[in-house]
Structure 1
Amino acid sequence: MAAAISDVQKWSGGHTDSILCLDCSDSGVVVSGSENGECTLWTADGKVLKTISKSEDSVTAVCFSQRKPTKFFISSGNKISEHDCQNLSEPVWTCEFNSEEVNQLALNSNEELLAACDDTGQVKVINLRERKLHRTLRKHSNICTSVKFRKKKQWELVSGSMDECVVQWECGRGRVMTILDMKDFVKESMPGNAYLVNPPLVHSVDISGNDRLLACGLENATVELFEFQGKKGITEIGCLKGHTQGVSQVHFPRFKSTDCLVSAGNDGKIILWDVSGNSAASPCKAEDREAGSSAGAMVEKFGKLSVIDHGDKINWITSMNTGNKEFVLVADQTEFISQYRIC
């Protein structure tokens, strides 16, 4: 697989403080939120369309609809609002089901459900058609940092938390399907007191486009990679080691979402990984370890395709595909968005 990250461009003029979150519509419109409560819409080539809000709280999460590309959601503090690009004078709808700050928003595949994870450790699942709270998911004992729905299982989602666990949910009945305790996968491979200094807190989770892979970005500088195996559960298939500080973001880019993964860290590095399972991209592959019995004796191998020293600590990454060009967008501690070309 020939792919690499290169050619950075900086987008400016949309914010006056650190950008915390990003998302992109299928039509190429980008939405971003900042520390000082600004929310800005951008064109695909980095021009500011409009700064639509100035709230008292930081804009911590944004989420575009993929079915209706003019619709998007933002969270500020514990408030969530729905907006329409065609009429930005006021929100379409607002709600306050969460009691503390929301950290990520996610839509399910038919976009009838919106999940919002927060600082209480809970995930609120909102019925958008009826505009009411569908379910509160309670299992985490610390801040819930990240949430994602599965692509082909519209009632299933995964959540990651500072309690070092990832939980797979069936949110129709609020049932816990699987709990992955990251200590079970990383503690024995960490020398000395490294575990105590850098515990595997979960900062970010994402699911591949074919619904097969689950990636978890951890505070101990690793990316744990798992495979969904139906009734047999979730099996660990690799541990990606390339960062020197906590992995703040993992993201399967929408244009290569079945065989590539992007990770970004507090070390300011951005790494593009080949996660197709047959990588010859780099000798710097994951630890080769046999998967569980449900995967037979197969050994998955993964490689780095590209490493970028971005410099600043990274808050969020997303991706876009426009004009037959593929990009990764990066938000960091500055008021600028960095656009990297994938080639």
Structure 2
Amino acid sequence: MSQELSLAAVELRGVTVRYRDTVALSGLNLSVARGRTVALLGPSGSGKSTALKVIAGFEQPAAGQVLLAGKDVTALAPAKRGVGVVVQSYALFPHLSIQQNVAFGLKGRGLSRQQLRERVAEALAVVHMEKYTKRYPAELSGGQQQRIAIARALAIKPPVLLLDEPLSALDAQLRQQMLAELQELRRELPDTAMIYVTHDQQEALALADDIAVMREARLVDMDVTERLYHQPPSGFTASFLGGANLLSAVVESFKPTDDGVCTVRIAGRQFRFRAPFEAAIGERVSVAIRPYACQLAESIEGENVFPVIVHSVQWRGASYRLIVRLTETAEQLSVDLPATVLPPEVASTISLRVRREDAVLVPAEVAVR
């Protein structure tokens, strides 16, 4: 393998961005390999869009470096980086035809008219919009405009494609359709590194090989998508990626040879759950339990069963969302039950069971400074 292919497609080294008294990014280290799709996931204001702007060259960091295929481009103008960018507003030129919009980024590259037409046709074919070259943006639907924005970014054949919440302006049905389109796009561009900014965990899970979770200008956790979901290293990632409930617990015993299963005490009761880290006896931890993992139990007897009081019941079509509280500590949980199950009455006391493989221990949450 050549040195160029072995280098990370994108690398941020200690990147910090400040706006007067506000730190938008704090010492961000991020590496994205060639052909990988990485989702930057986090709440509004976490710094994920700022990270994208730094890579594209729209923001200049106060400290740190930006490297593309090993080359330091920190001081390089956006037009000279060769990066494709798709923003949530699409930013199409209303006075230009679709063909002219897609060709816009190719100007000044020394292409002949024939080469220009071929490059535009190739980019439109990738997004299945070949028949719309003569139309204008106002004549297209939101989903079609998004495809054109992607085609324009692809026309320059970028090694890196940046997408900043491209589905946020679409309705729910169209968003699902475009998710499928983006999945197909990934398959058609196996050598292109993609960085996808979103606050929607379902988009991240559907599209990304790896997920980087951001919070308050910092990178909290990053890992392969499936592993990060099933073994979150922190309470924040567990709750943000999958909406896990976090229950306070104290470690009573831990044996690494016992398949990593740990005995903890929650509200005066013993439970056994997975611990992906070595937990010390007496250590305070959190147990991450996702809403779908809770099941109704017929009695309080048995492993990992606890009593709760039902605070509210919401019907959601295919399921019921229950908000319940532990009887001993009043800690609140969200519980999802299938619509085929008769929901309990509000204010009633019920028993819930969580299988040991359906919950995981995470370190007790530490305040972010």
TM-score, reference length from structure 1? 0.25
* TM-score using structure 2 length: 0.24
Q: Which of the pair is proportionally richer in strand?
A: 1
* Rg larger in structure: 2
